[in-house]
Amino acid sequence: MRAQDPRAFTAPTAVSNFLVTMPARSLRLAILAVMLLPTLAASQAVPAPRRDTVPRDTIPRDSLVRDSTAARDSVRRDSLARLAAPRLAMAARVPVVPRPAIVRGLYVNRWAAIGRTVWRLVDVARTTEVNALVIDVKDDRGYLLYRSAVPLAHRIGADTVNPMPAARIHALLDTMRANGIHPIARIVVAKDPILASARRDLAVRTRKDGTPWLDKAGRPWLDPHQRDVWSYAGDLAEEAVKLGFSEVQFDYVRFPDEPSLLRQAAFPLAKGRTRDVVIREQLGYLHDRMRALGVPMAIDVFGLTTTVKGDMTIGQRWEAFADRADVVLPMTYPSHYARGDYGIDRPNARPYEVIDHAMKDAIARNRAVAGAAEIVPWYQDFTLGAPRYGAAQVRAQMQAGYDNGIRSWVLWNASSRYTLAALKKDVEEKNE
């Protein structure tokens, strides 16, 4: 797919140029006002719902106007919730923005997206080399970013904890598009305790008595053998694309990584297949669905998959998944490598060397796979052990990628707090 400037799709040119030059806060308010006017007008003819029909946690705290009376708070919550459903139905008209040739992104967790942090990160992308945001649409607890029209999500209540109002998600995505920021939807697949608890038939089960297997945190996982697990992720992805996301990134596309799984769990649907074959087949299913939508499909994989020859017992083997996605993102965080990996005594203290080794191995393995995906590494922008990570450590990882011909990257910080000093202010390559 040839890269194009995403702003070319915000039509007409004069309006697009106006939006791009507006201050971020003014732009957000303008888009939100335009989108709310017709919905508010239509809502005047609709009888107000009962105040007890919308859960208290339906509306994000920072989207409410504080009021001295509980009654007015309740009415506002009901009104915003009523606005959300019809807006989702209009999303099919949003065109897909082509993926930039060079992607440099930041991860945005669900709480950061719901709150004010996402707008600060939009401003970071407008003023630095960053040109993409990877936003949690479904996180690793199973919660969704917004109210969903996917029946299963509705039935299990995955969209009921502080969902982002529909008008706000549209305003966010329109703001990103107007500023040439590539919107990527992150959807966690196998680690979903909400679905695993509600649909125990889809959960990993124990050999002993068939009850759900629990990880060390006491949470159930979904069984990757089950096609319904992947079809749910695919349905959520389709909805996200209709809303305006232009790429889908699937995470936790694997089996649990705990040793107890091998001793305790049973997989009656395996039917002789190895774990890496199961993951390959399920990724192929998702890839076909994303191809039909006309959007790139990305997958997150363990960093060591670039080097380890087997599937690490989680079903991720490079040669088995590399041609089942358009983009592969190995999580090459130096802090996650053990002493002695790559012959490095303290990998966390040698970020350049870790990334250099990992990228060389990934590139070599990609050469042996026809139709292999583009490699876009995750880099570490957080501290886990010594030394404390700052601009020097983040830039060292980037430089190692550049020295291996890999120009794209995404930074990970679980709290979505980034080292701005590590980001260049020039934007020459932003939308090439």
Residue 138 located in a structural domain: yes
State the Cα–Cα distance between residues 401 and 418, nearest whole angstrom: 19
Q: And the tokens for 54?
A: 């919308």
Report how far residue 210's alpha carbon sits from residue 398's, in angstroms, rounded to the nearest whole number: 46
Q: What is the pTM of this model?
A: 0.81
Q: Report the pLDDT value the prediction gives residue 46, as an integer from 0 to 100.
A: 32
Three-state SS letters, the chain: CCCCCHHHHCCCHHHHHHHHHCCHHHHHHHHHHHHHHHHHHHHCCCCCCCCCCCCHHHCCHHHCCCCCCHHHHHHHHHHHHHHHHHHHHCHHHCCCCCCCCCCEEEEECHHHHHCCHHHHHHHHHHHCCCCEEEEEEECCCCCECECCCCHHHHHHCCCCCCCECHHHHHHHHHHHHHCCCEEEEEEECCCCHHHHHHCHHHECEECCCCCECECCCCCECECCCCHHHHHHHHHHHHHHHHHCCCEEEEECCCCCCCCHHHHHEECCCCCCCCHHHHHHHHHHHHHHHHHHHCCCEEEEEEHHHHCCCCCCCCCCCHHHHCCCCCEEEEECCHHHCCCCHHHCCCHHHCHHHHHHHHHHHHHHHHHCCCCCCEECCEEECCCCCCCCCCHHHHHHHHHHHHHCCCCCEEEECCCCCCCHHHCCCCCCCCCC
Give the position of tokens 């079903």.
Answer: 315
Q: Which of 301, 296, 304 is nearest to 321 (CA)?
A: 301
Give the pairing type, strands 327-331 and 182-188. Answer: unpaired
What are 165's two structure tokens?
């109002």
d(CA 254, CA 222): 10
Task: Tell me the β-bridge partners of 220.
Answer: 214
The answer to whether position 431 is within a domain reads no
Q: Are 365 and 319 in contact (CB under 8 A)?
A: yes
Residue 429 within any structural domain of the chain: no
Distance between CA atoms of residues 299 and 169, nearest Å:
23
Burial of 121: CB neighbours in 10 Å, binned 0-12, 13-18, 19+: buried
10 Å CB burial of residue 415 (0-12, 13-18, 19+) is: exposed
The candidate with the shortest Cα–Cα distance to 332, out of 295, 358, 352, is 358
Residues in the chain: 432
Print pLDDT tens along the chain (432 aa): 333 333 333 333 333 444 444 555 555 555 444 444 434 333 333 333 332 232 323 323 333 222 333 333 333 333 334 334 433 544 454 778 899 999 999 999 999 999 999 999 999 999 999 999 999 999 999 999 999 999 999 999 999 999 999 999 999 999 999 999 999 999 999 999 999 999 999 999 999 999 999 999 999 999 999 999 999 999 999 999 999 999 999 999 999 999 999 999 999 999 999 999 999 999 999 999 999 999 999 999 999 999 999 999 999 999 999 999 999 999 999 999 999 999 999 999 999 999 999 999 999 999 999 999 999 999 999 999 999 999 999 999 999 999 999 999 999 999 999 999 999 996 665 655
Given the structure tokens 């969903």, which residue do they identify? 148
Q: How many CB atoms lie within 10 A of CB 364?
A: 12
Q: What is the pLDDT of residue 16?
A: 41
* Residue 432 within a domain: no
Residue labelled with tokens 């008595």: 209
Within-domain flag for 428: no
| Tokens 């201050």 -> residue | 23
β partners of residue 301: 330
Cβ atoms of residues 96 and 294 within 8 Å: yes
**pLDDT for 258:** 95
* Distance, CA of 390 to CA of 80 (rounded, Å): 40
Domain that holds residue 390: 6-422
For residues 270-307, one letter each, b for 16 or more C-beta atoms within 10 angstroms of the residue's C-beta and e for the rest, the string is: eeeeebbebbbbbbeebbebbeebebbbbbbbbbbbbb
CB 274 within 8 A of CB 312: no
pLDDT of residue 226: 98
427 in any annotated domain: no
Quick one: pLDDT at residue 138? 98
The per-residue pLDDT for 428 is 60
Number of domains in the chain: 1
CATH label of the domain that carries residue 314: 3.20.20.80
Q: What is the largest CA-CA distance in the chain?
A: 70
Q: Given the DSSP bridges, would you call strands 205-206 and 265-266 parallel, antiparallel or unpaired?
A: antiparallel
